[in-house]
Structure 1
């Protein structure tokens, strides 16, 4: 019921800005990016490929219509592949739907209760450490798929088995493992080569798609004996609503904790992605509570359909912005294209080798293992944030995702220790007249106070002058510093003026390019 007026609103936005054609072309680009990733993430999660496609459809059409971030695109995310794989291994595929129903309700309620800003208070060191750990787990798991094998039960076993997998290849006896490996290598090579050498006129054609096409054509041309993706004749046949017996198992505390973990991680990744998308354009900013509500609706529907969980996805979202999208209509249309393609051309998807999707995921996972984040944390904020990143990363790989995140969050509390006697923060917001406001922070600006800080800053008028006075700030942790830096950059891009009053270590912690 609610999706129809939201869709109409999106169409109205696009027409008002004269951007319907740009939204249309951007939606095609995002569709081409999404197709291989939706299927690949499903395979990495240990579920049939069509489950990822269903999530992509819901993420496009439903969440795109309700979204609080107008240019963000939602769908299955590599960041949840590891935890979904663990859920399927531990509880079975049938329990994924009920767990997602609970996770979706948690997100929905969080949006209604206006808790979106609290998710932004999660330390960037924890989030990026988590994503790096997930990336490495995806790489070491999908490398085994490149050999025609399957992932081991945990990351350490996957890592230890890699040397043996390479040694098992024989250049003299080209069997199924060697053929599968060839398809994967060609996919990776074509993807990387295209992204490096593609002409400017074709810069929006995604490397992942070209890689999958190259691997598929190679397997078909040489008649290789490799495993291919299984897609049902009808996408409706892939919908598996939860059964009453499965819903009854939700009384288990372990299952409820898993649902809470998925809701927490999906929300954090979504809002992190939304903040990144806001930095890419000068249009309307994200309404975080609305975005959280939309994600809750999406994951609730994914649970009822028995598909994968979703988040806002930075790869698809950045492609959307770079392709010139003007409104949420682009995200909605990309979901329509996925639905049409799956409904009308499922036989095309059945020709794709599993190794081709694994090749795409190896590259995607490796890019999540970004040491640049650790370097950035150390150079700007010192050793403790980088240590939080490293411990989160190692714990995710060595144990599991939830443990890694909890350990990282626990370490974040250490940043409060030096300021325990002076954690109070006073925020003053004054109208000085002549389109000038002054926002003053006095005390300790830590992640505990971040929702209050963000609420005041985002309520400032987009035009005119804002004087941000930090002279009486005694402490500024790296989580608050990142949000303040984002706000300074966003205000500069939007044409608003800002006068930053800060000195010494406080000013050094902010990237103040463009602030007077």
Structure 2
């Protein structure tokens, strides 16, 4: 967030000053304009379809949203999915898939499933976003050179050195070096503006500054680079009739897989964005089910129009809040400004070099890839989560997004299962006559052999103190074993004290399985060891 006081509470209704929403809507419009077109190019579709999605995301989703300060539109995180849909099924099928995803989202919201889309491992989410970032980076470097991207992410990455080398070695007047010049100038302007822009002008987004610099360079030097293609009329871009005639494709299994993949990823990304948006202000919290229905309604409209899918986007949402937005009016107004611009000034879009929009996506791809996230994840969650993250990223890049997500989910589930059934047993001889046993984790039948080996290795005729303070769960198999061990060890001249009351108080086992009374002391316990000697040994 920018420097200064935290955002004031967001309030909707007549009491909120309209001027704040008006200003915020203009800022968000300026951010959204280049991003909508850039995401469309990264998705392999005409830029106008990204603008249509931005309009729908502002007007339709903004009016219905359960997260009033969240801004929706085409998202870089969905570009990879859309590219795969268009590449596999054709552009004419895109509207059908988006419409189907909208139906799934509306039904999920109506069934109160909104919050469940947040139940995803952080390693899988971060791995998904990083994988998407790598794929966007790989494809958009080629587009930035006015070249066509390869058929998959791995080929795009492997072809980058050759593409750069051929661009550098090209002769005078070649198209690729000129496009590269425009792309590099765009990134340089974007980064420089974000770092050194005067405080009073920071409301102007760096992406817009980059595009303006690219337009100026391409126009002043009459560069031979590809520019945004604008249809003769705005209505000519709408594919309502095409979508309606292709609805029968929803009976195809591959198309249905694309529908549910798009619905899952778009919903998860939107819910996470809504959660992040809530942290940026002190106003009303998100109604996740209503937000999911609003997203579904937006995708129903986008699908009917043959446009890109809509999704909550954090960059525009952050700009919205930091610019002083007080409610949903700013999101709706930004959609109206996009509509007015596309309808009244389409010739301005034709001045924009495609390389400039690709350069913006290259910068976004680098942000999403974010190698520093690995270190943060390791510090917060450990090596296990990093392994899930790396496996998710690697699978997405090597195969496709859906396979990568499924691999990530599978590994996260296995890690959860391993953690839920893992038992650690620390045996500590605190004196010749006393042994302390500390149990950590979950004592289930899976860990019973380990528990039995540890306890049965304790010498006879000793006092055994079994501590259950750090035991999260105990099943019937382990409880029966502990009760039996307590009896057998006592019969052989020893003494066992199990802290049954700890489990009773925490209610993490069935009370019927626990002994009714603490075991009587067969012999006086030796003096307690010093606290430093009672620390569990790492196992």
| TM-score computed with the length of structure 1 as normaliser | 0.79
Residues 165-193 of structure 1: per-residue CA shift (max 9 Å, x gap): 11112365231111111111111110111
**In 2, are the aligned partners of 1:14 and 1:329 still within 8 Å (CA)?**
no
By how many angstroms is 1:380 displaced?
1.5
By how many angstroms is 1:472 displaced?
5.5
* Greater mean alpha carbon deviation, residues 263-272 or residues 372-381: 372-381
Pairs within 5 Å for 1:55-454:
55-169=53-167, 170=169, 172-241=171-240, 242-414=242-414, 415-420=416-421
C-alpha distance in 2, partners of 1:405/1:473? Answer: 36
Pairs within 5 Å for 1:463-478:
none
By how many angstroms is 1:150 displaced?
1.1
- Note the residue ranges of structure 2 that are not aligned, 5 or more in a row: 1-9, 423-441, 445-470, 474-504, 509-539
SS of corresponding position for 1:16 = coil
Change (3 A) 1:44 1:375: same
C-alpha distance in 1, partners of 2:246/2:149? Answer: 26
* Greater mean alpha carbon deviation, residues 87-96 or residues 247-256: 247-256
| Structure number, greater radius of gyration | 2
By how many angstroms is 1:63 displaced?
0.2
C-alpha distance in 2, partners of 1:351/1:71? Answer: 32
Match of 2:51 in 1: 53
By how many angstroms is 1:118 displaced?
0.8
C-alpha distance in 2, partners of 1:286/1:473? Answer: 33
By how many angstroms is 1:340 displaced?
0.4
SS of corresponding position for 1:273 = helix
SS of corresponding position for 2:148 = coil
C-alpha distance in 2, partners of 1:117/1:107? Answer: 12
Match of 1:42 in 2: 40
**In 2, are the aligned partners of 1:63 and 1:74 still within 8 Å (CA)?**
yes
**In 2, are the aligned partners of 1:68 and 1:288 still within 8 Å (CA)?**
yes
By how many angstroms is 1:13 displaced?
2.1
Residues 114-137 of structure 1: per-residue CA shift (max 9 Å, x gap): 001111111111111101010111
Match of 1:458 in 2: none
C-alpha distance in 1, partners of 2:155/2:308? Answer: 25
**In 2, are the aligned partners of 1:14 and 1:326 still within 8 Å (CA)?**
no
Change (3 A) 1:243 1:413: closer
Once superposed, which parts of structure 1, at least 4 consecutive aligned residues long, lie more than 3 Å away? 242-245, 420-424, 471-474
Change (3 A) 1:192 1:473: farther
**In 2, are the aligned partners of 1:226 and 1:353 still within 8 Å (CA)?**
yes
C-alpha distance in 2, partners of 1:148/1:244? Answer: 34
Residues 457-480 of structure 1: per-residue CA shift (max 9 Å, x gap): xxxxxxxxxxxxxx9699xxxxxx
SS of corresponding position for 1:35 = helix
Change (3 A) 1:472 1:124: farther
C-alpha distance in 2, partners of 1:233/1:32? Answer: 23
- Note the residue ranges of structure 1 that are not aligned, 5 or more in a row: 1-10, 425-441, 445-470, 475-516
SS of corresponding position for 1:312 = strand
* Greater mean alpha carbon deviation, residues 231-240 or residues 92-101: 231-240
C-alpha distance in 1, partners of 2:443/2:371? Answer: 32
RMSD of aligned C-alpha atoms? 2.0
Change (3 A) 1:12 1:237: farther
By how many angstroms is 1:263 displaced?
0.1
**In 2, are the aligned partners of 1:42 and 1:308 still within 8 Å (CA)?**
yes
Match of 1:513 in 2: none
| TM-score computed with the length of structure 2 as normaliser | 0.75
Q: How many residues align?
A: 420
Residues 220-271 of structure 1: per-residue CA shift (max 9 Å, x gap): 0000111100112322111102445421121111110110000000000000
By how many angstroms is 1:14 displaced?
4.3
C-alpha distance in 2, partners of 1:32/1:316? Answer: 10
By how many angstroms is 1:381 displaced?
1.6
**In 2, are the aligned partners of 1:299 and 1:309 still within 8 Å (CA)?**
yes
**In 2, are the aligned partners of 1:443 and 1:472 still within 8 Å (CA)?**
no
**In 2, are the aligned partners of 1:55 and 1:310 still within 8 Å (CA)?**
yes
